[in-house]
């Protein structure tokens, strides 16, 4: 189903799993396997595993502490990411998020929601769904041994952030009046979901042309059409 908005211009080492309910009583399970996460569909009534494990994250470095939630249309995966060459106590470590479809395939880019607060770094991510999506994360100041292993935490705090569900329709608004041939727009949508801003010069028989495709990492992204020369010009945003 097309989801769009229209506006116009006139003139760790062992398995650690999280289970998430999905349609038809099938569950998606995120497990830690060395440096990768895997998903396993299971039937809740019997607990059997009808399918093989599939890698969800295979980035270089170390990925830990996965969490999953299903928002009625797609999954949101969260995990702790320590890139190659980084340390648990380094500022490169963060909580990553990514939307997956019902087949566990990525449908948009990875994104971050939280930044370090003093010496507390994003450490553990948890995603919950309840009408809106809430992404909760515990920030902590890790104590790392000389061998690079996590030994504990010096301090910590819990932060949270709401983001729209993956199926929430985007909105598109003009941010300024026409200036010469330039017309500025702002899209508001769900982080981790790709949207296209399209234009047409008529709604009678529109020929929509994509001007930009992007994901609102912080909830919004802006675009300026520098070729707004038509007498009438219409814009819309469509989820990709």
* CA quadruple 55, 59, 60, 62: dihedral sign: negative
Per-position pLDDT tens, the chain of length 240 = 455 555 544 333 344 444 444 554 445 666 555 555 555 554 455 656 666 667 788 787 777 788 888 888 998 998 888 776 666 666 677 888 999 998 888 999 999 988 888 778 887 888 888 776 677 777 777 666 666 666 777 778 888 888 899 999 999 999 988 899 999 999 999 999 999 999 999 998 899 999 999 999 889 999 999 999 888 899 999 998
What Å distances lie between residue 208 and 62, 115, 171, 184, 214, CA to CA? 43, 38, 17, 18, 17
Q: Looking at residue 13, what is its pLDDT?
A: 35
Angle at 13 between CA 12 and CA 15, to 5 degrees: 90
Task: Report in angstroms the alpha-carbon separations of 35 from 79, 139, 152.
Answer: 12, 22, 21
* Domain 12-163 homologous superfamily, CATH: Glycosyl hydrolase domain; family 43 (2.115.10.20)
Q: Dig out the tokens for 193 from the structure.
A: 């979901």
Beta sheet of 62-70, edge-to-edge order: 62-70, 75-82, 94-100
pLDDT at 63: 79
What pLDDT shows up at residue 51?
62
Which candidate, 75, 27, 35, places its Cα nearest to that of 57?
A: 35
| Contact between 211 and 221 (Cβ < 8 Å) | no
Question: 3.30.70, 1.20.1250, 3.40.50, 2.60.40: which CATH number matches 171-239?
Answer: 2.60.40
Res 14: pLDDT:
40
Among candidates 172, 180, 164, 159, which has minimal Cα distance to 229? 180
Cβ proximity of 113 and 94 under 8 Å = no
- Residue where the block lists tokens 């450490």: 123
Whether 198 and 148 have beta carbons less than 8 Å apart is answered as no
Q: Per-domain residue ranges for the chain?
A: 12-163, 171-239
Contacts for 205-209: CB closer than 8 Å, 24+ residues apart: 206/234, 208/236
pLDDT of the residue at 12:
33
Residue 48 is predicted with a pLDDT of 63
Question: Tell me, what's the pLDDT at 179?
Answer: 92
Match 């993956």 to its residue by tokens.
Answer: 166
């Amino acid at each position: 189903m097309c989801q769009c908005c229209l506006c116009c211009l006139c003139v760790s080492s062992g398995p650690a799993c999280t289970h998430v309910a999905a349609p038809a009583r099938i569950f998606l399970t995120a497990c830690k396997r060395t440096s990768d996460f895997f998903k396993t569909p299971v039937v809740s009534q019997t607990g059997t595993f009808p399918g093989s494990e599939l890698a969800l994250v295979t980035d270089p470095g170390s990925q830990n502490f996965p969490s999953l939630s299903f928002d009625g249309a797609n999954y949101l995966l969260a995990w702790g990411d320590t890139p190659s060459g980084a340390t648990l106590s380094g500022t490169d470590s963060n909580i990553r998020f990514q939307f997956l479809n019902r087949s566990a395939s990525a449908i948009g880019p990875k994104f971050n929601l939280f930044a370090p607060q003093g010496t507390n770094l994003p450490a553990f991510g948890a995603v919950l769904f309840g009408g809106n999506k809430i992404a909760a994360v515990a920030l902590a100041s890790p104590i790392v041994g000389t061998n690079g292993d996590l030994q504990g935490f010096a301090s910590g705090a819990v932060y949270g952030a709401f983001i729209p569900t993956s199926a929430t329709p985007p909105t598109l608004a003009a941010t300024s009046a026409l200036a010469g041939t330039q017309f500025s727009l702002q899209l508001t949508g769900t982080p981790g979901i790709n949207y296209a801003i399209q234009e047409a010069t008529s709604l009678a028989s529109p020929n929509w042309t994509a001007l930009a495709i992007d994901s609102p990492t912080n909830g919004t992204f802006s675009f300026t059409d520098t070729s707004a020369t038509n007498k009438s010009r219409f814009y819309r945003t469509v989820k990709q």
